[in-house]
Amino acid sequence: MNYYNEIKNKIIDDEVYSKIKDYSKERHKVITYFEIGKLLTEAGGKYGDNIIEEYSKKLVIEVGKKYNRSTLFRMKQFYNVFSNEKVAPLVQQLSWSHCLILLPIKNINEINYYINQVSKRNLSKRQLEEIVKNNEYERLPVATRNKLIYKDRVEAKDLVPNPILIKNKNNIEIITEKALHHLILEDIESFMKELGNSYSFIGSEYKIKIGNTYNYIDLLLYNIEFNCYVVVELKVTELKKEHIGQIEFYMNYIDKNLRKVTQDKTIGIIICKKDNKFIMEYCSDSRILAKEYQLI
């Protein structure tokens, strides 16, 4: 096989295809670059690693400047990473820009997670870049990552990361729960995306009546995918045992007064300055999560 001519023909074919202004041109590019990466890997195995240098010099002259050494090297790297059986079937869901963001990641399970997020959440290049930068995968509980690897059933509570990142554009010093509450409400959409997928906003300081007195839930959300209410309580201190009792009380109220029989039980998320694993060890209600917050 003449590897160089094969690669050159594929590049020219993709250049022609890229003039077509439709959704399929990115898919064509990804497939083409994957095939070129395979050819470069095979050619390197036969003629040595310098083959990329040799081919790139000719391609720059005969096809265009963008097919330089670094571009060919990325194609080869792309093939070597994405030929893994765990991600190969999913690669066509990505654009080349998405692929370039994922190339530096070493963990194939992490790459697989982000590919699925691109598809599931329809992430743009910028959005993918942001969640990779914020280490979304690494912030998931280890148990959740294992569930994803083995394709076990996940619940809404499994996908809540730790810490939860809260945007603080004006570098406000958070010393009260009210200040933290206000910061979250400034960008509630971003906050809900931090918690996982498919959240909708029900209310802030959601009023409930217990006997003759009113209580206020910091945030009441609903998870459409998992069909359940989510009570969120904000604490700017270390987690305390009384916080567990408070959120459990609110969750039981929602279950009794709002939840329909077709809906799953309410879950509760306590967002606190510092977790206390000893307290959580003695919390008998598995629907309650305690997660630290981090301002970014």
pLDDT tens digits for 268-296? 999 999 999 999 999 999 999 999 999 99
pLDDT tens figures, 170-214: 888 888 999 999 999 999 999 999 999 899 999 999 999 989 999
CA dihedral sign, ordered 111, 116, 119, 120: negative
Same domain, 41 and 125: yes
Position 188 in a domain: yes
Same domain, 44 and 171: no
Rounded CA-CA distance 28/120 in Å is 21
Same domain, 110 and 197: no
Same domain, 214 and 278: yes
Position 152 in a domain: no
CATH number at residue 226: 3.40.1350.10
Same domain, 129 and 183: no
Same domain, 291 and 165: yes
Of 133, 148, 183, the position where a domain reaches its end is 133
Position 51 in a domain: yes
Same domain, 190 and 125: no
CB 180 within 8 A of CB 239: no
Position 154 in a domain: no
- Residues β-bridged to residue 200: 222
Residue with tokens 């590049």: 11
Closest C-alpha to 141, from 122, 156, 121: 156
pLDDT tens figures, 228-264: 999 999 999 999 999 999 999 999 999 999 999 999 9
Concatenate the DSSP letters of all residues of 124-140 into one string.
-HHHHHHHHHTTTTTTS
Position 71 in a domain: yes
Rounded CA-CA distance 256/284 in Å is 19
**What is the number of structural domains in the chain?**
2
Position 127 in a domain: yes
Sequence-ordered alpha helix ranges (H) in 122-240: 125-133, 142-149, 177-186, 188-195
Residue with tokens 């910091």: 218
Rounded CA-CA distance 103/88 in Å is 14
Same domain, 189 and 280: yes
Sequence-ordered alpha helix ranges (H) in 48-141: 51-62, 69-82, 96-102, 108-121, 125-133
Same domain, 8 and 120: yes
Position 144 in a domain: no
CA-to-CA dists, residue 124 to 115, 118, 158, 242, angstroms: 12, 8, 24, 42
Q: Which domain holds residue 123?
A: 3-133
Residue 11 structure tokens: 């590049």
Residue 27 identity (one-letter amino acid): R
Same domain, 167 and 97: no
CA 3 to chain centre: 38
Residue 205 identity (one-letter amino acid): E
Position 151 in a domain: no
In this prediction, residue 49 carries a pLDDT of 85
Closest C-alpha to 86, from 118, 66, 115, 64: 115
Of 133, 168, 195, the position where a domain reaches its end is 133
Same domain, 98 and 212: no
Same domain, 174 and 270: yes
**Global pTM?**
0.91
pLDDT tens figures, 150-167: 999 999 999 999 999 999
